[in-house]
Amino acid sequence: MEHDLYPAKELERRMWKITKGAGFGRQPYCIEDLASGMISDWFEARPGTPLQYLDRLLLVNDRIFPGMNRLEGFIVLDEKFSILTSQPFFVGRNATGREITAFFAQAGFVEICHGTWFREEDGLAIFDVGETNLVLSNGFPIPIDVIPLIPEGRFLEKLREALAIKNKGTPPVGGAPHAVWL
């Protein structure tokens, strides 16, 4: 949603991605004043900054899919600052929920709530994980538009609390059961 896509040079088989307007994707945040006991309500996504956008690109390259993102440059488009990146073009289809679950579980992640995965071993959280953000190409799910984050402070505490609840299989105190515990 935050990009316009254009094919790059055919020989490279890459897609150019230009951020739209003032949009630099979404950045996950931990809600401080929780109104609900449902884990899915503990986190939200807000508009990201250019620096957060670039940090996410680096994190994908470093921890998820080496070489996925390439910073191509910065441009002014329709009088707004935009970031131009590219990523490989993958032939495939959207990954199914079952394929996504198998992929992340094999990589050591636990699903915290729908679309949110966390790996305690290195503190990597991945948000916006859905069927349209992973492409199954040559039998392998490719995360083309997920939101990685290394949370700190209160955010990390809440993810660890959610992980503990998930591991126990019980809803948080005062909260209703969530489908993720089934």
| pLDDT value, residue 6 | 61
Amino acid 172: pLDDT: 43
Kindly state whether residue 182 falls inside one of the protein's structural domains. Answer: no
Alpha carbon distances (Å) from 9 to 12, 35, 68, 167: 6, 49, 16, 47
Q: What angle do CA 154, 168, 100 make, to 5 degrees?
A: 80
The answer to whether position 120 is within a domain reads: yes
Within 10 Å of residue 99's Cβ, how many Cβ atoms? 17
CA quadruple 167, 173, 179, 182: dihedral, nearest 10: 50
pTM of the entire predicted model: 0.82
* Count of residues making up the chain: 182
Q: Could you tell me if residue 178 is inside a domain?
A: no
Q: Is residue 10 included in any domain, yes or no? A: yes
| Residue 176 located in a structural domain | no
Question: Which tokens in the block code for residue 38?
Answer: 């449902």
In a domain, 145, yes or no: yes
Residue 180 lies in a domain: no
| Domain annotation covers residue 181 | no
Query: What total of structural domains would you count in the chain?
Result: 1
- Per-residue pLDDT tens listing for the chain (182 residues): 556 666 655 556 888 888 886 679 899 989 877 656 788 888 888 999 999 999 999 999 999 889 899 999 998 888 889 999 999 988 899 999 999 999 999 999 999 999 999 999 999 999 999 999 999 999 889 988 899 999 999 999 999 999 998 888 644 443 333 322 21
Report pLDDT for 4: 64
Residue 70 pairs with which residues in a beta bridge? Answer: 86
> Helix, strand, or coil here: 93?
strand
Full domain range(s) for residue 68 = 3-170
